[in-house]
Amino acid sequence: MIRINGLSHHIGPAPILHDINLTLPRGKLVALIGPNGAGKSTLLRLIARLEPLQRGRVEIDGLDLASTPTERLALAMAVMGQQTQIASRLRVAELVGFGRWPHHQGRPRPADREAVENALEAFGLGPLRHRFLDEISGGQAQRAHLAMTFAQGTDWLLLDEPLNNLDMAHSRALMARLAELVRGSGRSVVTVVHEVNYAAAWADHIVAMKGGRIVAEGPADTVLTEQVLSDLYDTPIEVSRHDSRPLVLHHHWHDQLGAPYPKASDADRFPLH
């Protein structure tokens, strides 16, 4: 499991995360939800050692983040950022191939090639394998990045808004694949999602963040309630049920035309410089 103790983070003078204590269970699909600026990406990036830890402790399956060599961590978790821009001119298959880097450090073996093929296959990238990344659509590029993360073959997958740019069918396919990884191969997934119904349908555990704090966590039934969600997003939200799961309705508020933007979160309010 991932254990987070007393994690706080500042950017300049602005506090972004406030003393976060959180345990993410192994073998579960965990969804991280919350409004823009809540600190979801920051939390994920800290766990993924993409930002230096300022205060607090993070442990991944017993590996202390601060003291474990980064090469070792790359065998334990794979990360996909919210906005990944690749400057070099690569083909889809080459990008996916880099997912195996932590295993071979530049000398791919047959097992690595096989993992790459599987990942390409899993994301329907076969026909696109020789295309350059700057010559495919946004959703196709997103799938290529996801395939790279999958190819890494780690116990933990940390994904920041993996549904960005994906159409309905691919979104659903991705969530199904994540669930399959979790239930079939015992892997653990932590993913940020904005479309809460995907969390409702697929997640085993939901963590809700706001203003740099965890405000609710638990199974879908306890977190995805009208009360919690309306407070979380500062906007009226209706929750119904479908297939014995919560179904969140937020597109039907015609009387809200011209409604003000949700009020600023704590984090938004701090002056930065």
Partner 1 sequence: MDRTAATLIAALMALLAAASLVWMFQGIGGGNRAFILHLRATKLAGLVVVGAAVGIATVLFQTVAANRVLTPSIMGFDALYVLLQTGLVAALGVAGFAALPVAAKFLAEVAAMSLLAGLLFGTLLGRGARDIPRTILTGVILGVLFRSLSTFLARIMDPNAFAVVQSVSFASFGSIDAALLPMAALIMAGCVAGALWLAPRLDVLALGREVATSLGLRFDRLVLVTLGLVGMLVSVSTALVGPVAFFGLLVAGLAHGLSPSARHAVLLPVAGLIGAAILVAGQTLFERLMGQTGTLSVVVEFAGGLFFLFLLLKGRVR
Ligand X SMILES: Nc1ncnc2c1ncn2[C@@H]1O[C@H](COP(=O)(O)OP(=O)(O)OP(=O)(O)O)[C@@H](O)[C@H]1O
82 binds ligand X (CB under 6 A): yes
Instruction: Tell me which H or E stretch contains 18.
Output: strand 14-24
Residue of 8, 68, 82, 235 interacting with Mg ion (CB under 5 A): 82
Binding window for partner 1 (CB under 8 A); candidates: 99-107, 113-121, 200-208, 219-227: 99-107
Residue of 94, 217, 231, 268 interacting with partner 1 (CB under 8 A): 94
Least separation in angstroms between CB 83 and Mg ion: 9
Least separation in angstroms between CB 127 and Mg ion: 31
41 binds partner 1 (CB under 8 A): no
Say which DSSP state 116 is in. Answer: H
Count the helix, strand and coil residues of the chain and give each as a percent rounded to the nearest 5.
40, 25, 35
Residue of 41, 142, 152, 171 interacting with partner 1 (CB under 8 A): 152
Q: What is the CA radius of gyration of the chain?
A: 19
Q: How open is the CA angle 53-56-59, to the nearest 5 degrees?
A: 85
Least separation in angstroms between CB 83 and ligand X: 9
Say which DSSP state 8 is in. Answer: E
106 binds partner 1 (CB under 8 A): yes
Site string for partner 1, 49-78 (x = CB under 8 A): xx-------------------xxxxxx--x
Q: Which residues contact 137 (CB under 8 A, 6 or more apart)?
A: 165
Binding window for Mg ion (CB under 5 A); candidates: 41-49, 211-219, 235-243, 257-265: 41-49
Closest by CA to 53, choosing from 40, 38, 37, 64, is 64
Residue of 42, 142, 154, 191 interacting with ligand X (CB under 6 A): 42
Helices (DSSP H) in the chain: which residue ranges? Answer: 40-47, 70-76, 92-98, 101-104, 110-122, 138-151, 168-185, 196-202, 220-223, 226-233, 266-269
Distance separating alpha carbons of residues 3 and 217, to the nearest angstrom = 15
13 binds partner 1 (CB under 8 A): no
37 binds ligand X (CB under 6 A): yes
Q: Quick one: angle between helices 138-151 and 110-122, nearest 10? A: 140
Residue of 105, 240, 260, 273 interacting with partner 1 (CB under 8 A): 105
Which residues of this protein are in contact with partner 1, per CB under 8 A? Answer: 48-50, 70-75, 78-79, 81, 84-90, 94, 98-99, 101-102, 105-107, 152
By the criterion CB under 6 A, which residues form the site for ligand X? 11, 16, 34, 36-42, 82, 267-268, 272
